[in-house]
């Protein structure tokens, strides 16, 4: 069974970059969101096992999504994928419950390694 995946990023290219890094057999079970509000709606109405989350987005940003997940008691493995690579940001998202911080542009081996480390692969 492939896990249910949500990719949230305002950039179409960045979403595709994540999508094509995922194992082939997962591809059919992936949803996408272009902003934080959309992501929270999907998370509320679906069981999502893995969320790949961008931080810098217009409107509700990645931090807002992490806070929303906490507030709504949603269980989900969140991997932040961001260009904002400052160490303080990395520790902030982990404190808010993200499993890992992955820097952009995302590389397939790095992404798969991260999934493996959390026994999701």
Partner 1 sequence: MNEFYLTEDQQDCLQELINIAMGQASDQLARYLNTFVYLKVPSIESVDAKELMQTLSQQKNTMAVVSQGFFGYEGIRGEALLVYQEEDSGRIADLLGYEPDELSQDEQLIDISSILTTTFLNVFARQIDNQMSYNAPKLLPNVKDNLSEHLQQMPFSWDLALKVNINYQVTDYSFNCNMVLLIPETAIINIKNVLDRILAEF
- Cβ density class 89-106: b for 16+ within 10 Å, e for less: bbebbeebebbbbbebeb
C-beta neighbour count of 44 within 10 angstroms:
12
Binding segment for partner 1 (CB under 8 A), chosen from 8-16, 45-53, 71-79, 111-119, is: 8-16
Residues of span 52-71 touching partner 1 by CB under 8 A = 56-58
Task: Work out how close the CB of 89 gets to partner 1 at its nearest, in angstroms, rounded to a whole number.
Answer: 8
In the complex, which residues of this chain contact partner 1 (CB under 8 A)? 10-14, 16-17, 20, 56-58, 82-86, 88-89, 104-105
């Amino acid at each position: 069974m492939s896990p249910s995946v949500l990719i949230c990023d305002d950039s179409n290219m960045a979403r595709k970059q994540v999508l094509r890094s995922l194992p082939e057999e997962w591809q059919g079970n992936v949803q996408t969101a272009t902003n934080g509000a959309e992501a929270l709606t999907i998370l509320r109405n679906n069981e999502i096992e893995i969320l790949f989350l961008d931080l810098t987005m217009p409107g509700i940003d990645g931090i807002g999504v992490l806070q929303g997940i906490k507030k709504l008691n949603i269980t989900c493995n969140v991997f932040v994928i961001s260009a904002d690579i400052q160490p303080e940001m990395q520790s902030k998202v982990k404190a808010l419950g993200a499993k890992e911080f992955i820097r952009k542009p995302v590389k397939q081996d790095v992404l798969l390694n991260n999934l493996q480390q959390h026994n999701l692969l």
